[in-house]
Structure 1
Amino acid sequence: MRVAGLLFDKDGTLFDFQATWGSWTRDLLQQEAGGDPGLLAALATVLGYDLDKARFHPDSLVIAHTADEVADAILPLLPPQPKAALVDRMNAAAARAPQIEAAPLAPLLESLAADGYRLGVMTNDAEVPARAHLSAAGVEGLFDFIAGFDSGHGSKPDPDPLLAFADRVGLAPSACAMIGDSTHDLLAGRAAGMTCIGVLTGPADRDALIPFADVVLPSIAHLPGWLRH
């Protein structure tokens, strides 16, 4: 069956993961650590983050987990506080983070929409910062479906949010593709019965993605060529 619906992950797929979140995360952790170098190092270790290189390790939980799950991981290290307050700070800071596009998004997505593809975004980020990032890139209105982990459909690697996209655009899951940079994305795509397309603009390398993908592309810039052939 021809692919007619394209569901994108956000971080590491539409936006280059390390270029976007590397330096930003160091600033966030320094703020949360409050000048305590021991706490800063402990936070970085839990998150799988290299402070010296300002980069995430390939197995970092930040890559594919939700903000709630990240908060659960670091909350025991921080002064006592409600988890909701930490998540709110993280989401507010994330919404302001400058995003580095993995490829020029507006022309790419406009071309795909003009070719008749139905477009969506499903991220394990929260929906509000996700929409802020897409709006800042000038592409929010090109998507038929935008969901975060808190949008009511669940989170990856569960297939439910992917199936919600297929339902929204009126396509069979087998007529849709999940495009992402992590195994969470591809496992969700496989469970939903979608074509699974990996991209290398996140921390995971080809060897990590290929067992779960139908194809692995350098970036979404290569997607139109793959779809044509």
Structure 2
Amino acid sequence: MPIDAILFDKDGTLFDFGNTWGAFGRNMVLRLAGGDHTRAAELGRIIGFDLETATYSEDSIVIAATVEEIADLLAQHIQDTSKEELIDVLNAEAAAAPQAQAIPLVPFLEGLRQAGFKLGVATNDSEAPALQHLASVGIHEHFDFVAGYDSGHGFKPGPGQLLAFAAHVGVAPEQVAMVGDSLHDLQAGRAAGMTTIGVLTGLAPAEALAPMADVVLPDIGHIPDWLSKI
């Protein structure tokens, strides 16, 4: 059955994870630590972030978790800040994070739209920062659908966001490709009955994605060529 719609994860898929989220991690832990580098490094280790190198471990909670899940973990180690305040800090720092495009996104997305594909974004980020990130590089209007974990459809690895996209654009799930850089993305795609495409612009290696992916590609720029051959 042909693919008529493509749903993208955001971080690590449309945007290169390491180049985008290093600054977020550094600014966020320093803000929560009140500028104390030793304390900030401790908070970084809790979420799988190295303050000195501004890099994440492959199993960092930041890669695929929701803001609430990250806040729940941090709240266990920060006594004077509520979960709601932590969420506000995380969302504010996320919204301010400069986005490093995995490939030049405007011509890529315009090409897909001209080819007739319906396009969407499903992220475990909050919806408001996600919309800001897309708008910051001029691609918000290229998508028919954008959902965050707080948009009312659940979050990955559950299939709710994915099925909501398929219903919104009027395409059967089996005619949708889910594209992502983490197992959460691909597990959600499988649960929704979609084709799954893994990309290597996140932190997960190809061998980790392969069991859940119909194909693993270097980046999203390889998708049109792959689709033309299936």
Counterpart-to-counterpart distance in 1, 2:88 and 2:23: 20
What is the root-mean-square deviation in Å for CA atoms of aligned residues?
1.0
Partner of 1:29: 29
Percentage of pairs with the same residue: 54
Secondary structure of the equivalent of 2:119? strand
Following superposition of structure 1 onto structure 2, how do residues 120-199 of structure 1 map, counting pairs within 5 Å? 120-199=120-199
Q: Could you tell me how far 1:62 is from its partner in structure 2?
A: 0.6
Amino acid at match of 1:168: H
The residue that corresponds to 1:44 in the other structure is 44
Q: Secondary structure at the match of 1:198?
A: strand
Listed as ranges, the matches of 1:79-158 within 5 Å are 79-158=79-158
Structure 2: stretches of 5+ with no match in the other structure: none
Task: Report the Cα offset of residue 43 of structure 1.
Answer: 1.0
In structure 2, distance between residues paired with 1:37 and 1:106: 38
Shift in Å, 1:38: 4.0
Whole-angstrom CA distance in 2 between matches of 1:98 and 1:187 = 28
Distance 1:175 1:45 in 2: 41
Asked whether the 8 Å contact 1:6–1:118 carries over to 2, the reply is yes
2:2 alignment partner in structure 1: 2
Of stretches 34-43 and 94-103 in structure 1, the one that deviates more from structure 2 is 34-43
CA contact 2:25–2:44 (8 Å) conserved in 1:
no
19-28 vs 184-193, greater mean Cα deviation: 19-28
User: Which structure 2 residues correspond to residues 212-227 of structure 1 after superposition, within 5 A?
Assistant: 212-227=212-227
Determine whether 1:207 maps to 2:210.
no
Q: How many residues align?
A: 229
Q: Per the alignment, in what secondary structure is the counterpart of residue 166 of structure 1?
A: helix
Query: Could you tell which deviates more after superposition, 37-46 or 63-72?
Result: 37-46
Whether contact under 8 Å (1:39, 1:77) holds in the other structure is no
Segments of structure 1 that go 5 or more residues without pairing to the other structure are: none
1:64 CA drift (Å) = 0.3
> Normalising by structure 2, what TM-score?
0.97
Q: With structure 1 as the length reference, what TM-score do the two structures score? A: 0.97
Shift of 1:95: 0.9
Deviation at 1:49, TM superposition (A): 1.1
* Separation in 2, partners of 1:120, 1:132: 15
- Which stretch of structure 1 is more off in the superposition, 56-65 or 32-41? 32-41
- How far does the alpha carbon of each residue in 1:118-141 deviate from its partner, in whole angstroms, 9 at most, with x for none? 000000000000000101111101
Which sits farther off after the overlay, 87-96 or 211-220?
Answer: 87-96
Partners in 2 of 1:84 and 1:114 — Cα distance?
42
